[in-house]
Amino acid sequence: MKSGFDINFIEGDGYLVLPLSMARLAGGQTPKETYETFHHFIKKLKNYSSDIVLLYTNGLYFNAENLTYEQRLKSNKQVLNHISELRNLIQSKKEFIPGAFHFLPIDYVILNSPHFRDFFATLKKREKEDKKFQKAIKNDLGKRDYNEANVNFILEEMAVAHIIRQRLVEFPRTLVRNDMWRLVSYPGKYLEADLYQWSHKILPQEDKINPYNGAQYDFLQKKLFVFDGEKSL
């Protein structure tokens, strides 16, 4: 599969997975902007028998040791407000089946997949030993400090994404019957560290069904980036 091109058609039933960043809920992934992604992808589905998972990543922010109770309340309120507004849009516009939208925290994947603990431990061990992997993580962190909290944030995000793409966790089903594909879409580039782990087969790559098992859709560019076609460190 080529990399850096838009998807024309998506065959069979499956899941569109939208990781929702806390930093973008007020801009970039607002309820209105998130709703618009549904229109973009609905045109690509050959069969209207798929579900959408809205994965709220607020749990990742609890890697920070200095997170206060007030910050936790603020985080929960932000997520709940976003969900409420998005649900209202879905129900009022009457364009989609409300039951096909599943609002889940990232901890859902962590708790429901028996692979998370091993995957995270594997990534953590590699991060301690592999200078190039460390460099990729540093690039993803940008101006943020390279400390345990921020590194764990990246590693947990990678482990969860890999579990989803490899179909190693069951999602709630409304329209889905066969779970033939899982497409992760985010308004931004994939993690460089995620590309590195895929290219060096740090985590097992056993799924033979999902055509997007090593890919991520950049909603800003409207392009699918396939890791096998991308250059890694």
pTM comes to 0.94
pLDDT value at residue 14: 98
Instruction: State the pLDDT confidence band at 63, using cuts at 50, 70 and 90.
Output: low
CB-CB contact of 219 with 33 (8 Å): no
User: What average pLDDT does range 213-227 have in this prediction?
Assistant: 98
Instruction: State the pLDDT confidence band at 152, using cuts at 50, 70 and 90.
Output: very high
User: What average pLDDT does range 183-190 have in this prediction?
Assistant: 97
**How far is it, in rounded angstroms, from Cα 160 to Cα 140?**
16
Give exposure, 62-80, as e/b (b: 16+ Cβ within 10 Å): ebeeeeeeeeeeebeeebe
Q: Which two tokens stand for residue 159?
A: 């482990």
pLDDT value at residue 61: 59
**How far is it, in rounded angstroms, from Cα 154 to Cα 60?**
9
Rounded to whole angstroms, what are the CA distances from 18 to 8, 52, 97? Answer: 19, 8, 17
CB under 8 Å to 214, separation ≥6 — which residues? Answer: 165, 198, 205, 226, 227, 228
User: What average pLDDT does range 66-81 have in this prediction?
Assistant: 82
- What are 99-136's pLDDT values in tens digits? 999 999 999 999 999 999 999 999 999 999 999 999 99
Where are any strands of DSSP class E within the chain?
Answer: 14-20, 51-56, 101-105, 181-186, 215-218, 223-226
- For the chain, the average pLDDT equals 94
User: What average pLDDT does range 19-40 have in this prediction?
Assistant: 94
Instruction: State the pLDDT confidence band at 86, using cuts at 50, 70 and 90.
Output: very high
Q: Is the pLDDT of residue 62 over 60?
A: no
**How far is it, in rounded angstroms, from Cα 171 to Cα 65?**
30
pLDDT value at residue 112: 97
- What are 121-131's pLDDT values in tens digits? 999 999 999 99
